[in-house]
Structure 1
Amino acid sequence: MSKSDWNSPEAVRRLAKRHAAEKRFKFIGLAAIVLSLGFLALLLVIMLKNGLGGLDWDFLSGSDSTDASTAGVWGAAKGSLLTMLVTLLLSFPMGVLAAIYLEEFAPKKKWIEWVEVSINNLAAVPSIIFGLLGLAVFINTFQMPRSSPLVGGLTLALMTMPVIVISGRNAIKAVPPSIREAAYGIGASKVQTTFHHVLPLALPGILTGTIIGMARALGETAPLLMIGMRAFVVTPPDSLTAPSSVLPMQIFLWSDEIDKAFVQNTSAAIIVLLVFLLAMNGIAIYLRNKFEVRW
């Protein structure tokens, strides 16, 4: 196209339409971001306004109570910590090992493809289905203690594991093939190459996916509701098999109270849960930046 063609009225109109469409797209994208952040900021302001007054040491160190003035969040927070501990200890090693096997060692056979499709589908299954599975298997079949961090952790581990497997496979797949070829070139075996060279480079992505999956599990209520963790528990759990509640369930129970005094407790508990979630996401960002290798 010659220079005169670019300056023709038709070309000028086309360029003007393209620039206008680009500006509209930028405006719509910016408006969507502002709207989303605005709703989030509004929610945060409401929670801070209602809950900051209730954030004191008695609230942070106390447990559930029928009296809003003496109710605290420590029992539920400790239950969440124990539940997340069980979830992490089970889902992380099993998920990472499964990702390594599927990406590095699994043969290219039909049943492996079925396993991969099943894992991808499990990551999208509604969380309440995992609650029903935990109720049927861990409580009804194995007679594990109801409303305990052990059963809650096992149930959430089932829900979190597909996320860890998928993120782990993506992180391992992102390692350049030249790393493997160089390791093979100096005589390393398949296992040595995977665990000494590939896995350390994939670790940032694996850790990020794991912590994001754990953060999702921390905010879940539906699967824990199915295994009985909505019980009224006055004392903090002293073991993995003791009756317990968790922060999301405690928020749900307080929000359902008739007494309006629990509104402040609900907002304060939401603030505590948000601090937990922000801390976990902050750790994920820190680990990603610390261990990330730029090529």
Structure 2
Amino acid sequence: MTDTWQSAAAQRRLAKRHAAERRFRAIGLASIVISLLFLAVLLFTMAKNGIGGLSLDFLLGSDSTDASTAGVWGAVKGSLLTMLVTLALSFPMGVLAAIYLEEFAPKNRWTEWVEVSINNLAAVPSIIFGLLGLAVFINLAHLPRSSPLVGGMTLALMTMPVIVISGRNAIKAVPPSIRDAALAVGASPVQTVFHHVLPLALPGILTGTIIGMARALGETAPLLMIGMRAFVSTPPGGITDPSSVLPMQIFLWSDEIDPGFVQNTSAAIIVLLVFLLAMNGVAIYLRNKFETRW
């Protein structure tokens, strides 16, 4: 056996295997380096063009036709209100739907059709949700156009399938022994899910929520359809007031002829990145806080 293992043929096979592993590691490392280079170039360009425009007046001001007086606070407040509406609607509905489908729903054709529909909704282009929001929330329900309420409801439709899919995967990853132990000591199926399964699945659910909310924060196509590209010179006072959002504000400024808006656009992108990092940081903190290892 030793002679066979140390034979020339075996050594050639080992050399080929080790060479393939080295090539795979090199390709993976090159992919990471290239991705980081693109990110570094983007951040450097945005910082170079926009760091000079970051001032207290810019951060606390609202949109204006004059680049020197235009600010980003109205768009920041609009994004914050829109994200709050999106989270308040999509998170509980998505988690409850995931719990029902994974723990309580009967396995039949109706359930399979619902599961396939949810998977397809997660891949639908965002502009379709914008058309749906325009038709249902504005034309049918007559809710205020260009408001965080309609924007949040539209983005909630887009975000909920992602939360449902990630929630189901997280719930499915909880060991069956947890359920069996809870049922063995007298817990009801509902108590088993909400007292034992859901706390263990919460970190995975929050991960899906982070992905969905990050996607929603950077969307512009659905918000274009519901009128959030309007010029709004005052910050919104509530979720029903007209407002803009950061991605839409960046889009509008990038289309301006005045060269002064180039700096404003880069500065707004920096604010958007900080907003996104802060939101993800809070979500990651909550995920790590509730994470349980077994």
If the length of structure 1 is used for normalisation, what is the TM-score?
0.97
Contact 1:50 1:263 in 2 (8 A): yes
Q: Match for residue 144 of structure 1?
A: 143
- Alpha-carbon separation, structure 2, partners of 1:230 and 1:236: 14
* 1:228 matched residue in structure 2: 227
Which residues of structure 2 form unaligned runs of 5+?
none
SS at match of 1:264: helix
The one-letter code sitting in structure 2 at the alignment partner of 1:164 is I
Is residue 38 of structure 1 aligned with residue 37 of structure 2? yes
User: How far has the Cα of 1:17 moved from its partner?
Assistant: 1.8
Between the two proteins, what is the percent identity of the paired residues? Answer: 84
Deviations 1:125-156 (A, max 9, x none): 11111001101111111111111111101100
Q: Tell me if the contact between 1:208 and 1:287 (Cα under 8 Å) persists in the aligned partners.
A: no
Tell me by how many angstroms 1:7 deviates.
2.6
Offset at residue 285 of structure 1 (A): 2.1
Tell me what 2:289 maps to. Answer: 290
Q: Distance in 2 between matches of 1:88 and 1:10?
A: 60
Measured against aligned partners, the alpha-carbon deviations of 1:113-134 in whole angstroms (never above 9, x if no partner) come to 1001100110111111100110
Match of 1:202 in 2: 201
Q: Is the 8 A contact 1:212 1:284 kept in 2?
A: no
Find the aligned partners of 1:235 and 1:166 in 2 and give their Cα distance: 38
Deviations 1:35-67 (A, max 9, x none): 001000110011011111111100000000011
- State how far apart, in whole Å, the 1-side matches of 2:6 and 2:101 are: 57
| Partner-residue secondary structure (3-state), 1:208 | helix
In structure 1, what is the equivalent of residue 65 of structure 2? Answer: 66
**1:130 match: secondary structure:** helix
TM-score (norm: length of structure 2) = 0.97
Alignment of structure 1 residues 82-231 onto 2, 5 Å: 82-231=81-230
Tell me which amino acid in the other structure corresponds to 2:90.
Answer: S
1:212 Cα deviation from its structure 2 partner: 2.3
Q: How much does 1:208 deviate?
A: 2.2
Deviating above 6 A after TM superposition, structure 1's stretches of 4 or more consecutive aligned residues are none
Amino acid at match of 2:268: A
For residues 248-293 of structure 1, give each alpha carbon's deviation from its aligned partner in whole angstroms, at most 9, with x where no partner exists: 0000001111111111100110001001111122223222221111
Letter in 1 for 2:102: E
- Separation of aligned partners in 2, 1:10 and 1:187: 62
1:92 positional shift: 0.9
| Inter-partner Cα distance in structure 2 for 1:201 and 1:28 | 36
Q: In 2, Cα distance between the equivalents of 1:9 and 1:190? A: 61
Return the letter of the residue paired with 1:44.
L
Q: Is the 8 A contact 1:54 1:264 kept in 2?
A: yes
Determine the structure 2 residue equivalent to 1:256.
255
Q: What amino acid sits opposite 2:66 in the alignment?
A: D
Q: Which moved more, 1:259-268 or 1:196-205?
A: 196-205
Provide the rounded CA distance (Å) in 2 between the counterparts of 1:14 and 1:197: 49
Distance 1:204 1:109 in 2: 29
RMSD: 1.0
The whole-number CA distance in structure 2 between the counterparts of 1:117 and 1:189 is 29
The one-letter code sitting in structure 1 at the alignment partner of 2:40 is A
The correspondence of residues 266-285 of structure 1 with structure 2, limited to 5 A, is: 266-285=265-284
Deviation at 1:240, TM superposition (A): 1.3
Aligned-partner Cα distance in 2 for 1:121–1:37: 32
User: Higher mean Cα deviation, 2-11 or 209-218?
Assistant: 2-11
**Counterpart position of 1:265:** 264
The AA in structure 1 aligned to 2:69 is: T
Distance in 2 (CA, whole Å) between partners of 1:202 and 1:19 is 39
- What runs of 5+ residues in structure 1 fail to find an aligned partner? none
- The separation in 2 between residues aligned to 1:96 and 1:194, in whole angstroms, is 12
Q: Give the Cα separation in 1 of the matches to 2:178 and 2:18.
A: 44
Q: CA deviation at 1:6?
A: 2.6
Q: Distance in 2 between matches of 1:57 and 1:148?
A: 26
